[in-house]
Amino acid sequence: MKTVLTIAICLLTTGWTIAQPITAKEAQKLFGPKGTHRAPFKKNNEVGLASVNLRFKTATRAYTEKRNAGSAVTWAFLEGVDSILFQEIADEYYNRLANKLHENGWNTSDGYKRSKHYQSLVERSADRSRITDSKDWGVAQVFTAHDQPYIEYPLMATAAHAKMGNEQDMPVGTLLITIDFADIVQKVSAHYPFALPHEIRTKETSAKTTLVPMIRIEGVTSSKVFGGDGTYAKFVGGNWSFCNAVLGSSPIYSLQAFATEVESSKEFPESMKKIKSEVVSDLVSIFSRGTANSGRAGAEFMFAVQIDREKYRKAALDALDRFNEYLIAYIKANN
């Protein structure tokens, strides 16, 4: 068996041409089934943003398997970023979201902070982990805007978050947005280049991976819809009303370029070693042997994506602005 590995690396250089207004139909389709009950934004001019959280991926993984042809796995690591940059983006996003709501008739209010139910949510969230790590997905860290607590609403319809919204008589929301940095496309194939009736057939397999640096806002990646995964905005209001915008399988992305270089590598990035995680420790062990081959796939690739900090910031905020457009259209459609 002969294995041929082909690596293709693409850098985007284009951006949005003209930002088209988001229609109600597009917003409803993007966020999946209708998730509004009694329309908390209707006849209301105030809104609370109790916890605005951005979940930045710093390592991303793709796995492809084809029967009788083999498998391929690709890891990509984001280089040139740090907690300062992520926090700046989170703070700026909060401001942009508040401004967008104001433009559409809703002023932000901190009145919910005086609620005992809000304090209950804060206490419950005190020990919530901000690190996500999975061998099947990648590594990410949550940054909360303006030093807010990292709150995720419980699933129970009558829990503290619902009581808080009902008490405040205005929509109070939490947001979690997952931001990936690359689109990875892999292809695994097999063919028989040479064979005669009296000879053993020769089988050749090949694996190709294409990595495109691209800011992508991702939807649900596991079964934990409200458990630190995916992208959603969940608001609760008066009269036990709610509005849940949960991003489905279609990502929201920016075409603004931010990568300065994409390198194929066999060395684990030093920046990732600072993250205390069983998954990261396992990856360090694998890659420290001088090869990406861990037995998990027939072909394995590893990339380091170097970024321009300011361009990364602009690309991330560009995608987040796009998310805001969809969110406002969804809220209006369900009012």
pLDDT digits (tens, 9 = 90+) for 189-217: 887 776 555 555 666 778 889 999 999 99
Q: What is the pLDDT of residues 276-311, one digit of tens each?
A: 666 666 666 656 554 444 445 567 888 999 999 999
What does pTM read for this prediction?
0.89
Cβ pair 265, 304 in contact under 8 A? yes
pLDDT at 142 over 90: yes
Domain range summary for the chain, segments of one domain joined by + = 2-333
Cβ pair 302, 75 in contact under 8 A? yes
CA dihedral 268, 271, 276, 281 (to 10 degrees): 0
φ, ψ dihedrals at 255, nearest 5°: -100, 10
The CA distance from 305 to 87, in Å, is 20
